[in-house]
Structure 1
């Protein structure tokens, strides 16, 4: 059931254990009034099955669950080729670091400083695209400025480019 995104809660597992015991005509010490197995049964069951564990589930939308099915992926890849399917991702890179590497200092020195900007800093956006076939497009940096400078292109990989926002 977990693979279908429908896991059992402990109460549902206890109720299912009771129903299976009654349906199969097994002798059981379960509560007949509440029609549920005891908590001690659950603990013993979990000990007998170490491959199971209690986990907190993550919410997954129905649309995403359908998209995860291999039949849907196979249909999509049969209609298109991997060279035509691209994924693009972006991340922000701060220009003022929050942490600094260790530096050498005189022994016994309690406080060691490093020169930094008083500004909060801007975030540079890094964009990258890749096809399902493994082909990469040139990467792009987007700087939060009005005018583009030639210095923005220094150190970029071949084919990469920089823009101003």
Structure 2
């Protein structure tokens, strides 16, 4: 609808909005696209960059500067834990994307994505 409005073309649709029949035809005309449920992720997780990950792995440099690198080499400081997150509202909407793509994501913001986190030692 927005494309038709901005283009100034004649609008052949009822109520100026393409309907289900048009959308099914669109999917048939574009077999490389599919409609799937998205996995929800937080805005913070979606904004992680390669640079941020590389900086995190440079922690050893920081520890050397602070003369604390021995904490990485002390075997008594090895801990094992597992964190699991349980979403209180895991439902997402449908998204349109390339057929065969394994993961579709929908970025949630605000309190829509509340989560209970459990940390096991």
Q: Higher RCO, 1 or 2 (CA under 8 Å, sep at least 6)?
A: 2
If you compute each CA radius of gyration, which structure gives the higher value, 1 or 2? 1
TM over 0.5: no
Give the alignment's TM-score, normalised by structure 2.
0.41
TM-score (norm 1): 0.31
